[in-house]
Every structure is written in C-alpha cells, then in structure tokens.
A and B are shown apart, each in its own frame.
Chain A
Amino acid sequence: MTRFLLRRTGLAVFQLFVIGTLVFLLVRLIPGDPARAALGETADAEQLAHARALMRLNEPVAEQYAGFWARLLHGDLGTSLISGRAVLADLPIRLGNTLELVLLALAVALAAGIPLGRAAALRAGRRTDHAVTGGSILGLSAPVFVIATLLLLLFSVYWPVLPQQRYVTLWDDPLAHLRLLVLPVLTLAIGATAVITRMTRAAMLETASADFVRTARATGIAERLVVRRHILRNSLVPVVNAAGVELATLIGGTVLVETVFGWPGLSSYLINAVSTRDYPVIQAVVLAAAVLVIAVNLAADVAGRLIDPRAEAV
C-alpha cells in the first residue's frame, strides 16, 4: 500500500505542476489585466502604466513564472493584486466552505442513495424499484440552479422556514451556520443521491447473481446476512468509485449553488478573481481546487483498495 501511495503522490505532484503551468499561461492569455480591473474605465494610459509597474506585470514572463513556483514552495500563496490581501488569509475559509458543502452533500447522497439503491435492487421489477429508478432519473435531470432558485424561493421567501441569513462561520454561530447549509447541501445532494442510488442498484443486481452469494446461501446463513455481508459488501467497491467521481464533479458544480445561495466558497472566490484578473489568487485557487480533486480521487482509490483486498494498482 505504501508503494501505491508513493507512486500516486509522485503523480499528484506532477499533475499539480502541469496544472500550475497551464493556469499560469491560460490566465495571461485572457484579454484585460489586473491594472485595468483595479482602476476601472476612467483611468488613463499613464495611470495604467504606473499601476502595471506597481503590480510588477512588466517583468519578463519567465521571471514571473519562476517567482510563482519559488514563492509557492515557500508556502507563500502570493498576494492579491487588487485587494492587497495575502491569499493565505482568505483561501482557507473559502476552501473550508466548499469542502463542507461538498462533503455534506456526498454524505447525504450516500446515506440516502445506498438504502434506496438497496431497496430497489432487492425488490427489482416491483413498484418500489420503478419508483426509486424513476425518482433517480428525475434527480439526474433537474438542472442544479433551477432547483436552487426554487428552493430559495420556497423556503426563504414564501414559507420562511430557512430565511436567507447573512453568512456566519461555524465557530461564531454553529446553529445558524448549519441552517444556512441546509438548502445548498440539499440542492447538490439531489443529483448526487440519484447517481449513488443508480450505482448501488446496478452493482447489487449484478452481485446478487454471483456464485459466492449462492455458496453463502447454501451454508444456511440468514438471508439478511447474505444481503448485508455478501451482496451489499461487494457492491460497495463500484459505489465507492462512483462516490469518488461524483465528489470530483460536485466540487466543479458548487459554483451555481454558491452563487444562488451566496455561499462564499472556492468557486465564487475563483470567479471573482477571474473577473478582476487577479492572477495570484486565480493561480492559488485553481491549484487548491486541483489538490482537492486529486485528494478526493486518491481517497476514493484508497477506500476502494481497503474495501476490495484483491484490487491491484490500476
């Protein structure tokens, strides 16, 4: 297992290096620069030149590139060209918020998806199965921000059970913080639950016809033990993989939820940085998001290997 982890971290570092370079170049290709974004439309050419000098944008690209990696290796995520604040001051809370949103959404998806999938598989072909399958297809089909808008309208305005409060951190007011999380997590969880349900159902249907299930039954152990210990346990492998992939897509999908619910996560921080062409922040956020996605994939693979002893390194 350690060899596997070593190889994967090596690959992760390589991946991050490629992504870092990619975003460094991509961002500078976008028309418009931070000086213009900071000074607005009224600034004249001379003022712009001054601002660019102050932001050291005129240095040769190679030097900026080397500086970027050098600072990164010393743990300095750079300073925002626009607000003058160290990225390290703002990024952690944003990263935390996105992680919180995504992990809770996945937790809900697993907590709801697996039992639903299990029920549908065990009663394949009957009413419960059709209801669950139909529901999961519906869950997959509804666009995220339509759900978000409707939930916001329903529970914040018309029936203010969860009125739209201002954001508070967990350690300030845990209850309010969690109440704020309910609607965004629910929005993300709907799609994720659908995916987990479908995956669990398919995996269990396939495993149920496996030989070792018949062997288990032949030893006379109780049916619910056969289901839990043999069928469900073996279905976890594909489900865990699906959860890993789903978590990665969830991270990408938070931008709409963060926007509609005003949840200050990584995506909204990134979009704000892009619209002000704040290079250091964009680079830091993209790398952070990439680390998140790589970590999630690695966690899913490790979990997969723990659950399935015969998994060979893929």
Chain B
Amino acid sequence: MTEPVLSLSDLRVDFGATPAVRGVSFDVRPGEILALVGESGSGKSVSALSVLGLLPRTARARGSIRLAGDELLGAGEARLRAARGAEVGMVFQEPMTALNPVYPVGRQIADALRAHRPMPRAAAYERAVALLDQVGIPEPGRRVRAYPHELSGGQRQRAMIAMAICCDPKVLIADEPTTALDVTVQAGILDLLRELRERLGTAIVFVTHDMGVVADVADRVAVMRAGEIVEQAPVTDLFAAPRDPYTRDLLAAVPHLGRAAEPDPTRPPGADAPPSVEAPVLELRDVTAEYPGRPGRGRHRAIDGVSLAVGPGEVLGLVGESGSGKSTLGRIAVGLVRAAAGTVRVCGHDVTRASRRELRPVRRRIGVVFQDPGSSLNPRATIGAAIAEPLHLAGLARGRAARARVVELLDAVGIPSAWSARYPHELSGGQRQRVGIARAIAVRPDLLIADEPTSALDVSVQATVLDLLTALQRELGFACLFITHDLAVVEMLADRITVLRAGRVVETGTRTEILGSPQDPYTRALVAAAPVPDPERQRHRRTERHTLLAGRYAG
C-alpha cells in the first residue's frame, strides 16, 4: 500500500458558534479517487475547501491536514500559496461563475502556470494550448483566446480542470464538478478525470451528492452526514453491503434506473399499454416557437414542429438535455409563450391564439410546479396567501372559504397548517416545493405541468416529493406533463415518455420501451450516459457506452 498523499485526521471546522465539520479523517493515495458523498449541509464542501485554507475568514479549523507528510493546517500564507495549484489543484461546481468573465481562458491558465513556474508569457500560452488539448477541448489554438461566456458549460469545466492540473499537482480536489452539467457532458468529464488518474497518477477527492456519479467514478467512498463521516469503504462493498443505517436509507432513496423496469405491484395492470389518447387533456400538433435571438443572429427556433398529447390521468415524461426546449413546451402549454405555428389544445379548447381573457377559463384547469424552490414562491407573500392566490384569480373562493381550502391543501402536501402565516425564506427547499404543489392543485386542475420539480432538491427530499406527486395524481386523477433531464426520476413516475432534442421530438413510447429498448441512437446515448447507483452494472454500461461512442460521435 503506497503512502497516502493527502490525509486528514480529526478535522474540526466551526463558523462562529455553529460547527460545520465535527472530526473528519480520511486518506487519499496517489492514483486513487475518493468520493466524499452527502446531502447539502453535510460538510463535504467545507472539508474540501479547508485543505487549501480557502475557508471564509469567519471559519476556525482545528485538527490536521497532511500533504505528503507536510502539515498544511495552520501553515503560513506562503506555504499555503506554494501548495495551492502546485501540489493541490481544485475544480469547482458552477461553470458559469467559476472563471473570471473578463479574461480569456488561456490567460487565466497562463497566470496559474506562471504563479509557480516563472516563464515568459508566450511559453505559458503555448503550455495552456497544450493543456486545453489534453482536457479534450476542440480547436485549442482558437479557444485559448475565447472568453468564458463564449464556451459551453462542459468546455468551461474542462478549461477549469486544465487550470487545476497545469502544474501537475499530486492531488486534485473536485467540488461537485459535474452537478450543473447535462448527463452526456457529465460522462465526458468523468472519463477525463479517470484518464488523469491513470495517466498522471493524481489522487482525486471527488465531492458529490449523486450516488450514480459515485458508483461511476469512485474507488473508495466516504459518506458524510451533519459534519461527520458515518461510513468509509471501497465502492463495491459500500453499494453491496452498506453498514451504516443512514447509508442504507440514502441508497434506497436514490431512483435506480432499470430497477423500476420490473412491474411495480402498485400500478394498475395495463398501465403500461399505450393508453388510448382519444380525449387528450393536452394536445400539441406541429407546434413551433421562436425566441428573438441575440441581435445579429436572427430568431432562434426553440421548438420545431412538436406534436404530443397527454391523456386524462396519464403522466407523460418529457425528457431532454438543457437547451432542448422542454421548459418552453411547458410554458406554451400554459400560454406563457405563444406558439408561432401549429395548434395547442387544452381540455379540448384551442388556446394557440387565445387572448388573456379567452385563456382565463382554461387557466383554471391547469396547475404549474416550478423547478427552483428559491424563486417559485413570491418572497414577499406568506405561503397561505400564495396558495390562496389561484383561488382568488379563478374566483373559486374568497375569505373564510379560501382559508379553509388552504388548510385542506396544506394537510394534503404534509405541511402543518399553522405555518400558513410563514414566509418562503422560513421553509426548507423541500417544504417550499410542497407549497408549490399545493398551489398548483388548489384549483383541482385537469392538467398539472411540473417543470423539473425535484432537480434542485437533495435525494432524500426528492424521493418524498415524488411520492407526494404520485399519490396526489392517483387521488385527484389529473393528467401530468412531467418535465425533467433525470431519466431515473422519469422512470419512477411516467406512463409514457417523449424524448426531446434541440426542439424536435426524437422518440415517444411507453416507459419500458424508451428505457428498456430505446430505438433512436440519441435516446440510447442518453440512457447509457445516465449513471446507475451500482458500480458493477455501471462499469458494464460504461464499456457499452464507449463502444457506442467510438461508433458514431463524441459526447
């Protein structure tokens, strides 16, 4: 067993009075990928940041962080600066904001290089081009002069990795590097990290909350909860036989692509059969929609001739990567975005060209749930008022009747009715989503449009919200258009699935058809790229995906 290159022992970090990390210890050996996994607030990021002393001034850290035997915690600024970048490289989560927007990417990499290896600027630039090529960015010679906003999310992340490894650090700490990326792009980044591990023998600390990613990339896993490591084990042992109860619950809560393929006893028989869509609640035929593109580049066609239908009581999963136009479709259904062509029918009414007045009766039959719990509720209104608003607008209830209905709805979504006077910022993300759902079903809609309702939530909270949705759907029988990029989630809910790519329908079919035996190559690549929380199956799927990719086009 080689000496660990990085070892934390009994690391404690407090922000003022509140403890964030309560005694974390782990080791990482060269060429090994250690996954630090846990839900938000578990202290995984704080531990990662404390290695290079990047914690905000209000933090106090105790314990020991040894880098190749050399103590870093409490080391002077000079020592820390020598370690940052040269011995330990870091990659962060948000590609949009993690790079300096006013400097070309090449310049930032060159600066990082020259911080540790004084060299003339031209040489640093050449090295930057080589690094960009090494991390798989096409045409590195041109891209080196590009500004961050001129690169895609994946390319920005690759540029940041290039910057992190420019001085061949012994350790690479990646703090949720792929969370903000699409599944296919994420797969590419994970391949790159594995390649670095093999080729340069870099030790990697991979911080994430996504069990699928852990199964795909990690050698060893440390599960964290409330600032402590509850379990540490090689990845296969952890998934096969989790010892700690929290790990077990966590793994159970993670939607498992393929597992739901077996018939789900609770679903009524024949649910799988393609439902007869004769009286669809929502029907789009050849719908196209355009956005005024940036000046000079003309109109950008977001939706190009999409046709789909949602039968009464049916859940249609609308799946696609970012930029595929799935959210736009949701807004077209509600009438927020006007279709340039084609027809949109809701509960039999043609709403394509409807004015706001004509839309009013139709809107009473539709409920909408949004993605970001932070911005889906009016921060200046109490949650009681938020739920009652659709009732007022639809003229269904006033005053005492409305208040009674609100209490009823709060109970339905599992929120104590006493909280109706609270404000959104006093609730957790999950609770806010539940209020969003309560608001959506307030008018007893025939159609519910859920635009990525759970993708901003932690896994455990996500599971409870999805259960709530399915229960409500069965009880109230509304049709549901469920928009998401997460195949595992759609598998749990949807009867039928439509796959969308760049504004066009790629494939539609029942759940088992799409996930089990996808016909279209894009769907197949999408299904293959989604990591499954089972190391064995994931390794097999990975080799299959690589043969697929080698066949047609790069990820």
Genuine A/B complex = yes
A residues near B, CB below 8 A? 3, 210-212, 214-223, 225, 229-230, 233-234, 237, 307-310, 312-313
Residues of B within 8 A of A217 (CB): 54, 84
Question: What's the Cα separation between A312 and B295 when bound, in Å?
Answer: 9
B85 is an interface residue with CB less than 8 A from chain A: yes
Closest-CB distance, A126 to chain B (whole angstroms): 12
A310 and B98 contact, CB distance less than 8 A = no
B497 is an interface residue with CB less than 8 A from chain A: no
B295 and A313 contact, CB distance less than 8 A = yes
Which residue in chain A gives the minimum CB-CB distance to B147? A309
Residues of A within 8 A of B270 (CB): none
B376 is an interface residue with CB less than 8 A from chain A: no
Find A3's partner among B97, B108, B166, B295 (CB 8 Å cutoff). B295
Q: Mark B66-89, 1 if CB is under 8 A from A, else 0.
A: 000000000001000111111001
Question: What's the Cα separation between A214 and B52 when bound, in Å?
Answer: 11
Most chain-A Cβ atoms within 10 A of its Cβ — which of B54, B86, B101?
B101
B163 is an interface residue with CB less than 8 A from chain A: yes
Which residue in chain B gives the minimum CB-CB distance to A234? B102
Which residue in chain A gives the minimum CB-CB distance to B166? A219
A219 and B98 contact, CB distance less than 8 A = no
Residues of A within 8 A of B103 (CB): 229, 233
B102 and A307 contact, CB distance less than 8 A = yes
Question: What's the Cα separation between A218 and B99 when bound, in Å?
Answer: 12
The contact size tier of chain B is 20 to 34
Question: What's the Cα separation between A212 and B100 when bound, in Å?
Answer: 5
B100 and A225 contact, CB distance less than 8 A = no
Find B98's partner among A212, A225, A309 (CB 8 Å cutoff). A212
Residues of B within 8 A of A223 (CB): 77
B112 and A219 contact, CB distance less than 8 A = yes
A3 and B296 contact, CB distance less than 8 A = yes
B111 is an interface residue with CB less than 8 A from chain A: yes
Find B97's partner among A211, A222, A312 (CB 8 Å cutoff). A211
Known contacts A220-B85, A234-B102; A211/B294 CB under 8 A? no
Closest-CB distance, B213 to chain A (whole angstroms): 21
B83 and A310 contact, CB distance less than 8 A = no
Find A220's partner among B81, B94, B99, B295 (CB 8 Å cutoff). B81
Residues of A within 8 A of B112 (CB): 219-221
Closest-CB distance, B17 to chain A (whole angstroms): 19
B84 and A220 contact, CB distance less than 8 A = yes
Question: What's the Cα separation between A203 and B81 when bound, in Å?
Answer: 26
Q: Can you offer 14 A-B residue contacts whose CB atoms are under 8 A?
A: A212-B101, A215-B90, A215-B99, A217-B54, A218-B52, A218-B84, A219-B89, A220-B115, A221-B115, A225-B111, A308-B101, A310-B101, A310-B147, A312-B294
Q: Mark B90-132, 1 if CB is under 8 A from A, else 0.
A: 1010100111111100001001100110000000000000000
Closest-CB distance, A236 to chain B (whole angstroms): 8
Q: Mark B504-524, 1 if CB is under 8 A from A, else 0.
A: 000000000000000000000
20 other contacts beyond A219-B89, A309-B147, with CB at 8 A cut-off?
A: A3-B296, A212-B98, A212-B99, A212-B101, A214-B92, A215-B100, A215-B160, A216-B108, A218-B84, A219-B115, A220-B83, A221-B112, A221-B115, A222-B81, A225-B115, A229-B111, A233-B100, A234-B101, A234-B102, A308-B101
B160 and A220 contact, CB distance less than 8 A = no
Known contacts A220-B85, A222-B81, A312-B294; A211/B147 CB under 8 A? no
B149 is an interface residue with CB less than 8 A from chain A: yes
Question: What's the Cα separation between A210 and B103 when bound, in Å?
Answer: 15
B100 and A219 contact, CB distance less than 8 A = no
Which residue in chain B gives the minimum CB-CB distance to A312? B294
The prevalent SS among residues of A at the interface is helix
Closest-CB distance, B523 to chain A (whole angstroms): 34
Question: What's the Cα separation between A312 and B293 when bound, in Å?
Answer: 12
Closest-CB distance, B499 to chain A (whole angstroms): 32
Most chain-B Cβ atoms within 10 A of its Cβ — which of A211, A219, A233, A308?
A219
Closest-CB distance, B350 to chain A (whole angstroms): 36
8 closest cross-chain pairs (CB), A and B: A220-B84, A220-B85, A219-B112, A218-B90, A219-B85, A221-B115, A211-B97, A310-B149
Residues of B within 8 A of A216 (CB): 100, 108, 111
Closest-CB distance, B124 to chain A (whole angstroms): 12
Residues of A within 8 A of B164 (CB): 218-219
Question: What's the Cα separation between A216 and B81 when bound, in Å?
Answer: 11
Residues of A within 8 A of B147 (CB): 309-310
A309 and B101 contact, CB distance less than 8 A = yes
Question: What's the Cα separation between A211 and B148 when bound, in Å?
Answer: 13
Which residue in chain A gives the minimum CB-CB distance to B95? A211
Closest-CB distance, B188 to chain A (whole angstroms): 21
Find B86's partner among A220, A225, A307 (CB 8 Å cutoff). A220
Most chain-A Cβ atoms within 10 A of its Cβ — which of B86, B89, B102, B296?
B102
Residues of B within 8 A of A221 (CB): 85, 111-112, 115
Known contacts A219-B112, A220-B116; A230/B82 CB under 8 A? no
Question: What's the Cα separation between A73 and B63 when bound, in Å?
Answer: 78
Question: What's the Cα separation between A119 and B327 when bound, in Å?
Answer: 45
A222 and B115 contact, CB distance less than 8 A = yes
Known contacts A218-B54, A313-B295; A211/B94 CB under 8 A? yes
Question: What's the Cα separation between A230 and B102 when bound, in Å?
Answer: 9
Which residue in chain B gives the minimum CB-CB distance to A217? B54
B54 and A214 contact, CB distance less than 8 A = yes
Question: What's the Cα separation between A308 and B160 when bound, in Å?
Answer: 20
Residues of B within 8 A of A3 (CB): 295-296
Find B100's partner among A218, A220, A230 (CB 8 Å cutoff). A230
Closest-CB distance, B94 to chain A (whole angstroms): 6
Question: What's the Cα separation between A215 and B95 when bound, in Å?
Answer: 11
Closest-CB distance, A53 to chain B (whole angstroms): 53
Which residue in chain B gives the minimum CB-CB distance to A231? B100
Closest-CB distance, B106 to chain A (whole angstroms): 14
Most chain-A Cβ atoms within 10 A of its Cβ — which of B54, B86, B94, B98?
B98
Which residue in chain A gives the minimum CB-CB distance to B99? A212
Question: What's the Cα separation between A225 and B94 when bound, in Å?
Answer: 23
Question: What's the Cα separation between A210 and B98 when bound, in Å?
Answer: 8
Question: What's the Cα separation between A219 and B52 when bound, in Å?
Answer: 10
Question: What's the Cα separation between A222 and B82 when bound, in Å?
Answer: 10
A309 and B92 contact, CB distance less than 8 A = no
Question: What's the Cα separation between A309 and B101 when bound, in Å?
Answer: 8
B92 and A215 contact, CB distance less than 8 A = yes
Q: Mark B33-58, 1 if CB is under 8 A from A, else 0.
A: 00000000000000000001010000
Residues of B within 8 A of A225 (CB): 111, 115
Residues of A within 8 A of B108 (CB): 216
Closest-CB distance, B156 to chain A (whole angstroms): 11
Question: What's the Cα separation between A218 and B92 when bound, in Å?
Answer: 10
A218 and B102 contact, CB distance less than 8 A = no
Question: What's the Cα separation between A214 and B89 when bound, in Å?
Answer: 12
Closest-CB distance, A243 to chain B (whole angstroms): 17
Q: Mark B450-477, 1 if CB is under 8 A from A, else 0.
A: 0000000000000000000000000000
Closest-CB distance, A232 to chain B (whole angstroms): 11
Docked complex: B270-303 residues within 8 A CB-CB of A: 294-296
Question: What's the Cα separation between A222 and B295 when bound, in Å?
Answer: 40
A212 and B97 contact, CB distance less than 8 A = yes
Residues of B within 8 A of A222 (CB): 81, 115
Question: What's the Cα separation between A216 and B296 when bound, in Å?
Answer: 34
Question: What's the Cα separation between A222 and B115 when bound, in Å?
Answer: 7
Closest-CB distance, A308 to chain B (whole angstroms): 6
Residues of A within 8 A of B296 (CB): 3
Question: What's the Cα separation between A216 and B83 when bound, in Å?
Answer: 14
